[in-house]
Amino acid sequence: MPNLDENLVRETIRAYITHELIRDPDYDLTDDEGIITGGLMDSFALADFAVFVEQEFGVYIPDPDLTVEKMDTLNQMVARVMQG
């Protein structure tokens, strides 16, 4: 498992979410806002996120961890990726 830089992971995921999932690059996505519960993206996006994380960071997040409760904020996503 390569060492991942947390800030890089955070900004990579933030850019991915605003560009690919919210489709609004100007959106100011904060670290702790509810992305799915706040209606910014639907739960389909969790599966998209899983593919992105596998390709980008080589991290496989098992299905039971891909839930709205566990992956609703940027902080939660970053923390999960950093676990490897």
Partner 1 sequence: MMLSLTARAEYETLLDAAALREARPDAAAIIFVATDAEPVVVTGAAFQARTQAYAAGLQRAGVTAGDLVIIAHIQNLESIYAFWGALQMGAIPSMFPTLTEKLDPDVYMRNMNALVRRSHVRLIFTSDAFAPVMARTADCPVVGSSELAGLAEDAGVEGFRPHAPHPDDIAFLQHSSGTTGLQKGVALSHRAVLNQLASYARAIELRPDDVIVSWLPLYHDMGLIAGFIQPLVQGIPLVLMSPFDWVRHPALLLRAIHAYQGTLTWLPNFAYNHLARRVRQQDMADIRLDSMRMFINCSEPVRDDSHQLFLHRFADAGVREDMLAVSYAMAENTFAVTQTPSGRPPRRDVVSRRALAEDRIARPVKEDEAATVLVSCGPTIPNTQAKVVDEGGRDLPERRVGEIAIRSDCMLTGYYQRPDLNPFTPDGWYLTGDMGYLADGEVYIVGRKKDLIIHAGKNIYPQDIEAIVNEVAGVHPGRAVAFGAPDEREGTELIVVIAEVDTDAPDQRKAIAKAIRQAVARKSDITVGYVTLVGPKWLIKTSSGKIARAANREKWLRERASRIA
**Span near partner 1 by CB under 8 A; candidates 3-11, 44-52, 75-83:** 44-52
* Cβ-based burial of 13 (10 A; exposed 0-12, middle 13-18, buried ≥19): buried
Residue 28 structure tokens: 């100011």
Closest CB to partner 1 among 7 and 51? 51
CA 53 → CA 22, 28, 43, 62, distances in Å? 17, 21, 16, 11
- Residue from 9, 17, 46, 81 touching partner 1 (CB under 8 A): that is 46
- Residue from 6, 60, 83, 84 touching partner 1 (CB under 8 A): that is 60
Closest CB to partner 1 among 8 and 68? 68
